[in-house]
């Protein structure tokens, strides 16, 4: 038994993932859902005071591949910019979040988050995630909602690796987000190694 466990560990990859986006778009709730399989409207509040939090989660991909993700949850506030500079470098991939009920948070993806990530981590793979899709399902008619096509366009124009709409509240597509980022981060390291070889 012991032999097999150690072999598994040696085959397990480790990757660092940054999660960024405007304050309030649901970054902490998304990570909470992954970690605890729960959504608590109040839980994220506990973390508001801390600028940075690291969670660790083993993701199992197809063909038995395992990736241990170190997920960096960062405050979206401008005041933490100095911390982001310290903590983002060496990330293998980034999840850039906005909320589908907040068009400005999508505009800031293009205006702030993509440029910042490209500056701090040149060439980093970026996955665009539209959070809180449950709210849009409930009231599709409200004008301010971001339609799926707008998210898809933003991802394409900014050469991101994909676009996923999800909900930490209902658990819709949350797993897909982290499986996708694990896959992308895994490939990224292979490319990097070849570059330096």
CB 106 → ligand GDP: shortest distance, Å?
Answer: 14
Residue whose CB is less far from ligand GDP, 29 or 91 = 29
In the sheet that 13-21 helps form, which strands lie side by side, from edge to edge?
52-60, 66-74, 13-21, 93-99, 126-131, 162-165
Residue whose CB is less far from ligand GDP, 87 or 131 = 131
Whole-angstrom distance, CA of residue 125 vs CA of residue 165: 18
Q: Indicate whether 29 belongs to the interface with ligand GDP (CB under 6 A).
A: yes
Residue whose CB is less far from ligand GDP, 91 or 131 = 131
Burial 96-130 (b: 16+ CB within 10 A, else e): bbbbbbbbebbebbeebbbebbeebbeebbbbbbb
CB 28 → ligand GDP: shortest distance, Å?
Answer: 3
Write out the binding residues for ligand GDP, residues 73-132 only, by CB under 6 A.
76, 131-132
Residue whose CB is less far from Mg ion, 28 or 167 = 28
Cβ neighbours around 80 below 10 Å, total: 17
Return the C-alpha torsion angle 174, 179, 180, 185, nearest 10.
130
Q: Count the residues of the shown chain that bind ligand GDP, applying the rule CB under 6 A.
A: 17
Cβ neighbours around 143 below 10 Å, total: 5
Residue with nearest beta carbon to Mg ion: 28
Applying CB under 6 A, which of residues 15, 27, 136, 188 lies at the interface with ligand GDP?
27
Q: Indicate whether 138 belongs to the interface with ligand GDP (CB under 6 A).
A: no
Dihedrals φ, ψ of 157, to 5°?
A: -60, -30
Residue with tokens 């898809």: 152
- Mask: binding to ligand GDP, 147-176, rule CB under 6 A, as x and -? --------------------xxx-------
Q: Indicate whether 23 belongs to the interface with ligand GDP (CB under 6 A).
A: yes
Q: Are 44 and 28 in contact (CB under 8 A)?
A: yes
Applying CB under 6 A, which of residues 3, 4, 6, 41 lies at the interface with ligand GDP?
41
CB 162 → Mg ion: shortest distance, Å?
Answer: 23
Residue ranges binding ligand GDP (CB under 6 A): 23-29, 41, 44, 76, 131-132, 134-135, 167-169
């Amino acid at each position: 038994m012991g032999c097999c466990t150690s072999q598994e560990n040696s085959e397990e990859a480790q990757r660092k993932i940054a999660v960024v986006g405007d304050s309030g778009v649901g970054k902490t709730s998304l990570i909470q859902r992954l970690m605890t399989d729960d959504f608590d409207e109040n839980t994220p509040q506990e973390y508001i005071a801390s600028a940075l939090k690291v969670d660790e989660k083993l993701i199992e991909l197809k063909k038995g591949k395992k990736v241990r993700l170190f997920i960096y949850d960062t405050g979206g506030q401008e005041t933490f910019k100095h911390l982001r500079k310290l903590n983002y470098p060496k990330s293998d991939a980034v999840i850039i979040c906005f909320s589908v009920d907040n068009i400005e948070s999508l505009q800031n993806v293009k205006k702030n988050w993509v440029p910042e990530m490209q500056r701090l981590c040149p060439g980093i793979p970026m996955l665009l995630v539209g959070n809180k899709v449950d709210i849009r399902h409930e009231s599709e008619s409200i004008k301010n909602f971001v339609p799926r096509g707008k998210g898809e366009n933003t991802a394409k124009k900014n050469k991101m690796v994909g676009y996923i709409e999800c909900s930490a509240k209902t658990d819709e597509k949350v797993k897909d987000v982290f499986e996708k980022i694990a896959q992308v981060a895994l490939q990224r390291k292979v490319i990097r190694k070849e570059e330096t070889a």
